[in-house]
Amino acid sequence: MHGYVLKPANYTEGKKYPVAFLIHGGPQGSFGDFWSYRWNPQTYAGQGYAVVMIDFHGSTGYGQAFTDAINQHWGDRPLEDLQKGLAFALENYPYLDGGRVAALGASYGGYMVNWIAGNWSEPFSCLVSHCGIFDTRMMGYATEELWFTNWENGTDVFTRPAEYYIFNPMLHAKDWRVPMLVVHGDKDFRVPLEQGIGSFTACQARGIESKYLRFPDENHWVLKPQNSMQWHTVVFEWLEKHLK
């Protein structure tokens, strides 16, 4: 497995830093040497966080077989990779504070945050789920990218709906307990709006500290500069509250 660890700005030897554990989307994507307004690890480093990023099964750049290995395995192989990757980082980089870790992700990364909430909550102080899938079965009915859910689940939801329940975060919401910030855009047709509302409602129903950031004029991305400022302000306030 490959991953990255990024030191915070103004790093001081011997000091421990809270960790932003970023999970990429796609899931056929990768962390690479690029710059963006959104999910830029340097923004977290600039706020005083150490950043850990793991390229799990499904990531691109390691051969087609590695990329295809996530098909019908959304919740097991990548989760194991993320668990082992974070454990390795915490063990080998002493400036990472294992008692102050947040998991953040969008799209598939948001799905994984929702999956983590019910299957791997122990190390995390808070979570950020942006445009994440909450109910994989409803996703199969509602997304505008139907070929994607068919490909990832090995079938369509009408023929074999049971396949859509195997790694469904909704079925594990009864075990959620970590504070979660949920972000969604009203015009997101890739991961439709009800997915974000479902995540937030699950938190509220469970009595979990949670917050919902809604962008009426954004889709699957946050593209407008002022909205990006709002996004970063709210996310960093959430991390500040729970990690610092």
pLDDT for position 150: 96
Residue among 188, 199, 210, 242 flagged as catalytic: 188
Domains by residue range for the chain, with CATH:
2-243 (3.40.50.1820)
Nearest in space to 162 (alpha carbons), one of 191, 141, 137, 198: 137
pLDDT for position 71: 96
Q: Residues 48-81, buried b or exposed e (16+ Cβ, 10 A)?
A: bbbbbbbbbbbbbeeeeeebebbbbbbbebbbeb
Is 107 part of the annotated catalytic residue set?
yes
pLDDT for position 38: 79
Cα 136 from chain centroid (whole Å): 15
Q: Which residue(s) pair with 102 in the sheet?
A: 20, 126
Is this prediction's pTM over 0.75? yes
Q: Which residue(s) pair with 105 in the sheet?
A: 23, 129
Tell me which H or E stretch contains 204. helix 193-205
Q: What does the alpha-carbon distance between residue 68 and residue 6 come to, in Å, rounded to a whole number?
A: 28
pLDDT for position 176: 98
pLDDT for position 3: 95
User: Within 10 Å of residue 104's Cβ, how many Cβ atoms?
Assistant: 24
pLDDT for position 101: 98
pLDDT for position 28: 95
Residue among 30, 59, 107, 210 flagged as catalytic: 107
Nearest in space to 3 (alpha carbons), one of 17, 25, 23, 18: 23
Residue with tokens 């594990």: 172
Per-residue confidence in pLDDT tens, the chain, 244 aa:
899 999 999 999 999 999 999 999 999 999 987 777 778 999 999 999 999 999 999 999 999 999 999 999 999 999 999 999 999 999 999 999 999 999 999 999 999 999 999 999 989 999 999 999 999 999 999 999 999 999 999 999 999 999 999 999 999 999 999 999 999 999 999 999 999 999 999 999 999 999 999 999 999 999 999 999 999 999 999 999 999 8
Structure token pair of residue 218: 């954004």
Residue with tokens 């994507």: 29
CA-to-CA separations, 215 to 61, 185, 195, in angstroms, rounded:
33, 5, 14
CA-to-CA separations, 82 to 57, 105, 192, 194, 216, in angstroms, rounded:
9, 12, 26, 27, 32
